[in-house]
């Protein structure tokens, strides 16, 4: 991770150069989150390569003049949770904010009614967040729902032979039902022993414990997974945690899986729904974020109500035992995910968010 001050200096130099290049989009990324960075890189790369709009990423808006600035992270837009206000770049710029998901009681919601006056548009990836923003006083005409996208050149479905090879390389025991969970679900950036409940780590572990008869092996990635690892260990569930520094390593992790479980209470995406689909991995998920917007129950995922462990368990067992259903779901998902390539999603960003400002 680049340090804060070198990051700011790099952003300032890059931003000053961009000011002489004419109207362009600067997508502001969060230095701590490679997920936000990948989203920003994917959108700006697609726009630039197809000559729709000159676009780039930056870690900060410092020094930018007469440009379109898109804050890709609400955490980077607000200062100290909102109490200190929000970043206000030079008034010659036009501002857009992305807010993927709103945690219950988020204090920043109280500031959005005022902050929206500085924004020409607010983007989110799902209808549930749109509903929350509007209920908090945000102008419905400013809210645009555009789902996340995926780089289909990086993800593919693995053959049985390839899956077996990857599992062996990861030292996953043979003949196990491999369940994936690739996220950050602990509070803070340390060990993550305190669960981040909006991500549902407690629901995830409760579900896995109740399918021990399937001989599950849990593959984990992401930081701050201490709570999940502790509870899996206490309940005799075998697992492996691989901390991934680079997004390019993620596709290989998916190709080791038999199932991906999304057990969250609140989401904006998650990216995992698209990544699983593109990797030929069945999904059991709670109805969170953009999942109910894009998935069809029993066609592209098995869906459950939030916190419904009984249904999650039932659906996990159904996937493990019903080969016909599993095959049909994978086939349909591989077809469906084609609609979410970054080129198609960035087209929507251009038409709905950026074109009116150029």
State residue 121 phi and psi, 5-degree precision. Answer: -160, 155
CA angle centred on 281, ends 224 and 126, rounded to 5°: 65
Q: What is the DSSP letter of 70?
A: E
Predicted confidence (pLDDT) per residue in 222-248, tens digit: 999 999 999 999 999 999 999 887 788
- Which two structure tokens, joined as six digits, stand for 220? 């984990």
Task: Please check whether residue 243 is in contact with residue 223, taking contact to mean a CB–CB distance below 8 angstroms.
Answer: yes
Full-model pTM: 0.92
Please report the domains of the chain, with CATH numbers, ordered by start residue: 4-149+342-357 (3.40.50), 160-339 (3.40.50.2000)
Predicted confidence (pLDDT) per residue in 302-338, tens digit: 999 999 999 999 999 999 999 999 999 999 999 999 9
Tokens 């969250």, located at residue:
264
Distance CA 180, CA 62 (A): 39
Which helix (H) or strand (E) is 316 found in, with range?
helix 309-321
Distance CA 93, CA 111 (A): 21
- Which two structure tokens, joined as six digits, stand for 25? 């989009």
DSSP per-residue codes, 171-192: TPPTT-EEEEEES--BSSSSS-
pLDDT of residue 81: 66
Q: How many helices (H) and strands (E) does the chain have?
A: 14, 12
Confidence band, pLDDT 50/70/90 cuts, at residue 12: low
């Amino acid at each position: 991770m680049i340090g804060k001050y070198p990051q700011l200096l790099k952003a300032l130099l890059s931003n000053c150069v961009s000011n002489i290049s004419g109207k362009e989009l600067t997508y502001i990324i969060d230095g701590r989150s490679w997920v936000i960075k990948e989203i920003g890189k994917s959108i700006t790369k697609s726009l630039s390569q197809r000559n729709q709009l000159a676009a780039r990423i930056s870690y900060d808006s410092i020094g930018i003049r007469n440009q379109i600035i898109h804050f890709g992270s609400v955490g980077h837009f607000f200062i100290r949770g909102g109490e200190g206000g929000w970043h206000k770049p030079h008034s010659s710029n036009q501002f857009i904010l992305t807010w993927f998901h709103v945690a219950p009681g988020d204090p920043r919601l109280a500031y959005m009614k005022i902050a929206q006056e500085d924004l020409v548009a607010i983007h989110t990836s799902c209808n549930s967040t749109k509903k929350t923003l509007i209920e908090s006083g945000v102008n419905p005409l400013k809210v645009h729902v555009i789902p996340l996208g995926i780089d289909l050149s990086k993800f593919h479905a693995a053959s049985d032979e390839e899956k077996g090879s990857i599992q062996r390389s990861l030292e996953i025991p043979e003949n196990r039902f491999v369940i994936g969970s690739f996220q950050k679900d602990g509070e803070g950036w340390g060990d993550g022993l305190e669960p981040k409940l909006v991500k549902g780590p407690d629901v995830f572990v409760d579900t896995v414990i109740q399918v021990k008869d399937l001989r599950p092996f849990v593959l984990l990635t992401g930081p701050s997974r201490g709570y999940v690892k502790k509870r899996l260990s206490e309940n005799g569930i075998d697992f492996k945690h691989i901390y991934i520094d680079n997004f390019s390593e993620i596709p290989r992790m998916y190709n080791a899986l038999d199932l991906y479980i999304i057990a969250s209470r609140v989401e904006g995406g998650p990216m995992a729904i698209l990544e699983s689909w593109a990797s030929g991995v069945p999904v059991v998920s709670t109805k969170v974020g953009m999942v109910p917007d894009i998935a069809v129950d029993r066609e592209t995922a098995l869906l459950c109500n939030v916190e419904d462990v009984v249904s999650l368990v039932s659906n996990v067992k159904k996937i493990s035992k019903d080969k016909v259903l599993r095959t049909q779901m994978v086939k349909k998902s591989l077809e469906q995910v084609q609609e979410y390539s970054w080129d198609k999603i960035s087209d929507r960003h251009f038409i709905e968010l950026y074109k009116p400002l150029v």
